[in-house]
Amino acid sequence: MTPPAGFDFHRPADLAEALRLLAADPEAVPIAGGTDLMVALNYRRARPRALLDLTGVADLREWTDEGAAVRIGAGVTYARVAAELGGVLPGLAAAARTVGSPQIRNRATLAGNLATASPAGDGHPPLLATGATVTAASAAGERLMPIGDFFTGPKRSALRPGELITAVTVPKAAGPQQFLKVGTRNAMVIAVCSFALALDTGRRVLGTGIGSAGPVPLRAGEAEAVDLPWEAPDRFGEGLAVEFGRLVAAAARPIDDVRATADYRRHALAVCAARALRRAWAEAHPEGSVRCG
Amino acid sequence: MTDTAGGVGHSPIRPDARSKTDGTFDYASDLRLPGMLWGHTLRSPHPSAAVRSIDTTAALAMPGVAAVLTAADVPGANAYGLITADQPVLAADRVRYQGEPVALIAADTLDLARLAAEAVAVDYETLEPVTDPEAAVAAGEYFRYQPVRLGDPDAQAAAVVIAREYAVGMQDQAPLGPEAGLAEPAPDGGIRLHVATQWLHSDLEQLAPCLDLPPERIHLEMSGIGGAFGAREDLSVQAHMAMLALHCGRPVKMMYDRAESFLGHVHRHPARMRYEHGADEHGRLVYVKARIVLDGGAYASTTDAVVGNAASLAVGPYEVEHVSVDAWGARTNNPPCGAMRGFGGVQTCFAYESQMDALADALGLHPLELRRRNAVAQGSKLITGQTVDARDPRRDRPGGAPFSPLADLLDRLDALPAPAPAPTARPGGSGDTTRGEGVRRGTGYGVGLKNVCYSEGFDDHSTASVELRLEDGERVARVHTAAAEVGQGHWTLQAQIVRTELDVDRVELAPNDTRIGSAGSSSASRQSYMTGGAVRAAAVAVRALAAGRDLADGPVEATRVFRHRATKPMDPVTGQGDSHVQLALCVHRATVDVDVELGLVKVVELACVQDVGKAMNPLALEGQIHGGTAQGLGLALMEALLTDGGRVQNASFTDYLIPTALDMPPMRIELVENADPDAPYGLRGAGEPPTLSSTPAIVAAVRDATGLPLTRVPIRPEHLTTGRLP
Ligand SMILES: Cc1cc2nc3c(=O)[nH]c(=O)nc-3n(C[C@H](O)[C@H](O)[C@H](O)COP(=O)(O)OP(=O)(O)OC[C@H]3O[C@@H](n4cnc5c(N)ncnc54)[C@H](O)[C@@H]3O)c2cc1C
d(CA B14, CA B480): 17
User: What string of DSSP letters covers B328-361?
Assistant: EEE--SSPPB---TTTTHHHHHHHHHHHHHHHHH
Residue nearest to atom 53 of ligand 1 (CA): A35
CATH code for the domain in which residue B547 is found: 3.30.365.10
CA distance B636 to B664: 12
CB neighbour list of residue A270: distance below 8 Å, 6 or more residues apart: A242, A245, A246, A248, A249, B726
A28 lines ligand 1 (CB under 6 A): no
Q: Please give, rounded to a whole number of angstroms, the shortest distance from the CA of A87 to a CA of chain B.
A: 17
Closest approach of A182 to chain B, Cα-based (Å): 6
Those of residues 200-259 in B touching chain A at CB distance below 8 A are 257, 259
pLDDT the model gives residue B393? 58
- Amino acid residing at A57: V
At residue B723, the pLDDT reads 65
For residues B396 and B366, the answer to whether their CB atoms sit within 8 Å is no
Q: Ligand 1 centre from A108 Cα, in Å?
A: 6
Q: Give me the phi and psi of B455, to 5 degrees please.
A: -110, -175
- As a whole number of angstroms, the distance between CA B14 and CA B493 comes to 9
Distance, in Å, from the CA atom of A186 to the CA atom of B427, rounded to the nearest integer, reads: 7
Cβ within 8 Å, pair A187-B600? no
Which residues touch A251 (CB under 8 Å, ≥6 apart)? A208, A210, A218, A219, A220, A221, A222, A223
CB of A181 within 8 Å of a chain B CB? The answer is yes
Query: Is there a single domain that holds both residue B106 and residue B247?
Result: yes
Under the banding of pLDDT at 50, 70 and 90, the label for residue A6 is low
Quick check: B213 pLDDT over 60? yes
Mean per-residue pLDDT, B704-710:
97
The reply to whether B515 and B616 lie within a common domain is: no
- Residue B336's Cβ-count burial label (10 Å; 0-12, 13-18, 19+) is buried
Give the model confidence (pLDDT) of A159-187 as tens digits.
999 999 999 999 999 999 999 999 999 99
Task: Judge if B489 and B412 occupy the same domain.
Answer: no
Claim to verify: residue B587 and residue B659 sit in the same structural domain: yes
Index of the ligand 1 atom closest to the CA of residue A35: 26
The pLDDT tens digits for A102-141 are 999 999 999 999 999 999 999 999 999 999 999 999 999 9
Is residue B644 within 8 angstroms of chain A, CB to CB? no
List pLDDT tens digits, range A36-81: 999 999 888 898 999 999 999 998 999 999 999 999 999 999 999 9
CB of B271 within 8 A of CB of B290? Answer: no
User: Does residue A207's CB lie within 6 angstroms of at least one atom of ligand 1?
Assistant: no
User: A-B interface: how many C-beta pairs under 8 angstroms?
Assistant: 121
Q: How far is A98 from chain B (nearest CA, A)?
A: 6
Question: A61 CB less than 6 Å from ligand 1?
Answer: no
Ligand 1 centroid–CA A124 distance in Å is 12
A275 touches chain B (CB under 8 A): yes
Backbone φ and ψ of B691, nearest 5°: -70, -30
Closest CA to A178 of A120, A91, A282, A78: A91
Q: Which atom of ligand 1 is nearest to the CA of A124?
A: 11
The alpha carbon of A143 and the centre of ligand 1 are apart by a number of angstroms equal to 22
- Which member of A183, A264, A267 has the closest CB to residue B431? A183
CA angle A97, A98, A101 (to 5 degrees): 90
Cis, bond preceding A229 (omega within 30 deg of 0): no
| CA-based end-to-end distance of chain A | 50
From chain B, pick out residues whose CB is under 8 angstroms from the CB of A178. 432
Buried b (16+ CB within 10 A) or exposed e, A126-152: bbbbbbbbbbbbbeeeeeebebbebbe
* Residue whose CB lies within 8 A of the most ligand 1 atoms, among A35, A184, A259, for a mutation test: A35
Do B405 and B482 belong to one domain? Answer: no
Instruction: Give the pLDDT of residue B2.
Output: 58
Q: How far is Cα A60 from Cα A75, in angstroms, rounded to an integer?
A: 5
CA distance A213 to B498: 60
pLDDT digits (tens, 9 = 90+) for B599-622: 999 999 999 999 999 999 999 999
Nearest to A11 by CA among A31, A38, A27, A33: A31
Domain count, chain B: 3
B201: Cβ–Cβ under 8 A, 6 or more apart, which residues? B220, B482, B514, B517, B518, B519, B520
Which residues are CB-contacts of B578 (< 8 A; sequence separation ≥ 6)? B384, B385, B386, B387, B567, B568
Q: Do B657 and A266 touch (CB under 8 A)?
A: no
Which strands, in side-by-side order, build the sheet including B94-95?
Answer: B94-95, B49-55, B121-126
Residue with CA closest to ligand 1 atom 43: A164
Does residue B482 belong to any structural domain of this protein? Answer: yes
Inter-residue long-range contacts of B21-27, CB under 8 Å, 24+ positions, other chains counted: B25/B224, B26/B223, B26/B224, B27/B177, B27/B180, B27/B196, B27/B223, B27/B224, B27/B225, B27/B226
Q: Say yes or no: CB of residue A12 within 6 Å of ligand 1.
A: no
Q: Is the domain of B495 the same as that of B421? A: no
- Angle, helix B618-637 to helix B689-706, in steps of 10 degrees: 50
Q: From CA A217, how far away is CA B216, in angstroms rounded? A: 62
SS3 for A88? coil
A-proximal residues of B, 676-705, CB under 8 Å: none
- Which of B257, B654, B725 is opposite residue A267, by nearest beta carbon? B725
Q: Confirm if B603 and B663 have CB atoms less than 8 A apart.
A: yes
Higher pLDDT, A2 or B349: B349
Residue B57 has pLDDT above 80, yes or no: yes
Ligand 1 within 6 A of CB of A122: yes
Domain boundaries A61-171, corresponding CATH code = 3.30.465.10
Minimal CA separation from B171 to chain A, in Å: 15
Chain B residues near residue A42 by CB distance under 8 angstroms? 257
Contacts of B562 (CB under 8 A, 6+ apart): B461, B462, B463, B464, B530, B531, B533, B534, B536, B537
Residues in chain A closer than 8 A to B437 (CB atoms): 275, 292-293
pLDDT at B425: 82
Q: Where are the domains of chain A?
A: 8-52, 61-171, 177-283
Ligand 1 centroid from CA A139, angstroms: 23
In this structure, are residues B332 and B478 in contact, taking their beta carbons and an 8 Å threshold? no
Q: Which domain holds residue B478?
A: 17-24+461-563
Report d(CA A95, CA A92) in Å as an integer.
Answer: 5
Distance CA A161, CA A131 (A): 25
**ipTM score of complex:** 0.95
What residue type is A284 in one-letter code? Answer: A
Please say whether the beta carbons of B522 and B646 come within 8 A.
Answer: no
pLDDT at B231: 97
Q: Report the C-alpha gap between B604 and B590 in whole angstroms.
A: 8
Please, is A177 exposed, middle or buried when counting C-beta atoms within 10 Å of its C-beta (0-12, 13-18, 19+)? buried
Ligand 1 atom nearest residue A163's Cα: 43
Strand partners, A144: A135
Residues B36 and B111 in one domain: yes
Cα A131 to ligand 1 centre (Å): 21
> How far does Cα B511 stand from its chain's mean position?
24
**How many Cβ atoms sit within 10 Å of the Cβ of residue A34?**
17
Q: Tell me if chain A has a CB within 8 Å of the CB of B666.
A: no
- A113 membership: H or E segment, kind and range: helix A110-116
Show residues of chain A in contact with B637, CB under 8 Å.
Answer: 184-185
Give the distance from residue B433's alpha carbon to the nearest chain A alpha carbon, in angstroms. Answer: 5
CB contact at 8 A, B105 and B59: yes
β-strands A29-31, A50-53 pairing: parallel
Predicted pLDDT at A3: 46
Give residue B220's pLDDT: 98
- CB of A117 sitting under 6 A from ligand 1: no
Residue B124's Cβ-count burial label (10 Å; 0-12, 13-18, 19+) is: middle
Mean pLDDT over residues B61-73, rounded?
A: 98
Helices A238-251 and A262-284: crossing angle, nearest 10°? Answer: 140
Chain A residues touching B435 at Cβ < 8 A: 279
Residue B386 lies in a domain: no
A152 has pLDDT over 70: yes
Which strands form A69-73's sheet, in the order they lie side by side? Answer: A63-65, A69-73, A164-171, A133-138, A141-146
CA distance A30 to B220: 45
- Contacts B661 to A, Cβ<8 Å: 187
Q: How large is the average pLDDT for residues B412-416?
A: 98
Instruction: Tell me, yes or no, whether B351 lies in a domain.
Output: no
In this prediction, residue B400 has a pLDDT band, given cuts at 50, 70 and 90, of confident
Residue B343 lies in a domain: no
User: How many helices (H) and strands (E) are present in chain B, helices listed first?
Assistant: 16, 26
Mutation target vs A (from B42, B108, B597; most A CBs, 10 A cutoff)? B597
Q: What is the pLDDT of residue B394?
A: 63
pLDDT at A1: 41
Q: Are A21 and A10 in contact (CB under 8 A)?
A: yes
Centroid of ligand 1 to alpha carbon of A80 (angstroms): 15
Q: Which amino acid is at B718?
A: E
- Class for domain A177-283, per CATH? alpha beta
Question: Ligand 1 in contact with A164 (CB < 6 A)?
Answer: yes
A261 in B contact zone (CB under 8 Å): yes
CA distance A93 to chain B (A): 12
pLDDT at A289 over 70: no
Whether the CB-CB separation of A28 and A8 falls below 8 Å is answered with: yes
Confidence bin at A293 (pLDDT 50/70/90): very low
Q: What is the CATH number of the domain that holds B124?
A: 3.90.1170.50
DSSP code string of B420-441: PSS-SS-TTGGG---SSTTEEE
DSSP state of A130: H
In a domain, B282, yes or no: no
Distance CA B311, CA B144 (A): 11
d(CA A179, CA B10): 49
d(CA A129, CA A124): 9
| B339 vs B349: CA distance, rounded Å | 16
Tell me what the mean pLDDT of segment B573-589 comes to.
97
Angle, vertex CA B424, rays to CA B664 and CA B588, nearest 5: 40
